[in-house]
Amino acid sequence: MTGLILTLNSGSSSLKFAVYRPVDFGELTEKDCVLHGAIDEVGEHSGFRAFDNAGNILVDETLPAEISCGDRPARGVRNEVIIPCLEWIEAHIGSEVLIAAGHRILHGGPHYTQPTRFSKQVLADLTALIPLAPLHQPACLAPVSTLEKTRPDLQQFACFDTNFHQTLPEVAKRLPLPRRYSETGVRRYGFHGLSYAYIASRLPEIAPDIATGRVIVAHLGNGASLCALRNGVSIETTMSLTALDGLIMGTRTGAIDPGAVIYMLQTEQRSADDVVDILYRQSGLLGISGVSSDMRLLRKENGNFSVKQAIELFTYRIVQEIGALIAVLGGLDALVFTAGIGEHDAALRHDVCSAFAWMGIVLDQSRNDQMSSVISAEDSKICVFVEPTNENLMICRAVLGCLNESRSS
């Protein structure tokens, strides 16, 4: 096949991108990646970085002031950065041509259950889901319109974070609200699906004996969730109707008593927009610590009492929810850590795993510190892994699937 494919993954603290050169319409692998990089949002780690497939730095720049994200945590990377990023990519690939772009889209709602080519209608339908994903959906969709205007020949595809969780049993999709809500799509969906799909696709290679067993994947980044896999498919996850449920996150509460929301609305007389801002952007690690949403910065402030409390509650909630998923799975064969914190924070992995010593989880301390793939000790009853996620690869595979389908139809 001729032509390159661009993938964009808008997270809550970064825009990650990659360019792939598929050899044919066969299974795409990491080897087909031409370059990858990220625009990070705030603080000392903000900037524009790209690497070639061997990991060599191609660019490492602070963003020009006029398009810099500045001090605006959890507002997503500004759409204006897309154009210079795209221009840099096009200059780098020279005479090769981008033929398609795949976008991570957070929410597909009840109707978008597989990767879909963008049209005006698709864009309108997904825009209507913004209230269910206020932190991500605008940032995920903004580059679609920008590319449509500036690169009209590029075919664009939506690849959903919700799709992987369609296998949740019906009972796990249900919310205990009056029946009419489920009929309008108010139910549990789950997110980080591209990441979980990638980890599930890696299991037969990294853990052939347990790939068909009971696995919990901990996707711990700025957004954080857990997924229970049985035989490689999702049977439960901590996020729900929105990416606000479940674990504590960089700036999000995770699950809280809805009574706290009623208190904000009735006693504090806050507007709905204010409440959205508090729950999505001012809470979590940032809200409790009063210092930062970024675990790298929190680890440097470990003498600070509020920081300690933030990390303590973050860890406690992970342990609680892993316990609940073990009950749902009826036991555990493997635990996999991934995403920014899961891949890099050895202390967090240590503290979470220590809470499951009673079940026979034993970490190999030096493997954990070196971030090896297998971090459990030989005598651990449950295998523990660190596996870097790769949402871009899954986006590109989905795009290729769509291109393949349209070619054969």
Ligand X SMILES: Nc1ncnc2c1ncn2[C@@H]1O[C@H](COP(=O)(O)OP(=O)(O)O)[C@@H](O)[C@H]1O
Q: Which of 236, 294, 333, 387 binds ligand X (CB under 6 A)?
A: 294
Q: Which parts of 77-213 are beta strand (E)?
A: 98-105, 116-117, 155-160
11 is an interface residue for ligand X by CB under 6 A = yes
State in angstroms the smallest separation of the CB of 221 from ligand UVW. Answer: 4
Which of residues 134 and 223 has its CB atom nearest to ligand X in the complex? 223
* Minimum CB–partner distance for residue 223 and ligand UVW (Å): 2
340 binds, among ligand X, ligand UVW, Mg ion, none (CB under 5 to 8 A by kind): ligand X
Site residues (vs ligand UVW, CB under 6 A): 11-12, 106, 161, 191-192, 221-223, 243
- Return the structure tokens found at 260: 């706290």
Strands of the 4-10 sheet, one edge to the other: 57-61, 47-52, 33-40, 14-20, 4-10, 98-105, 155-160, 116-117
Catalogue the long-range contacts made by 42-47 (C-beta closer than 8 Å, 24 or more residues apart).
42/13, 42/69, 42/70, 42/71, 42/72, 42/73, 42/294, 43/292, 43/294, 43/297, 44/297, 45/294, 45/296
161 in active site:
yes
Nearer to ligand UVW, 12 or 46 (CB): 12
If one asks whether residue 11 binds Mg ion (CB under 5 A), the answer comes out as yes
341 binds ligand X (CB under 6 A): yes
Q: Supply 17's token pair.
A: 């991108």
In the shown chain, the binding pattern of residues 210 to 229 toward ligand X, with x for contact by CB under 6 A and - for none, equals: -----------xxx------
Question: What are residue 17's phi and psi, to 5 degrees?
Answer: -140, 160
Tokens found for residue 320 = 């609680």
340 binds ligand X (CB under 6 A): yes
Sequence-distant (6+) residues with CB within 8 A of 89 are: 6, 17, 19, 35, 50, 98
Catalytic residue among 40, 161, 245, 345: 161
What residue numbers does the annotated binding site cover?
A: 9, 16, 104, 219-223, 294-296, 340-344, 391
Q: Which is nearer to Mg ion, 104 or 214 (CB)?
A: 104
Contact region with ligand X (CB under 6 A), list: 259-267, 336-344, 375-383, 399-407: 336-344
From CA 225, how far away is CA 248, in angstroms rounded? 9
Residues 218-257 within binding reach of Mg ion (CB under 5 A): 221
Write out the two tokens for 336: 């996999």
Catalytic amino acids? 161
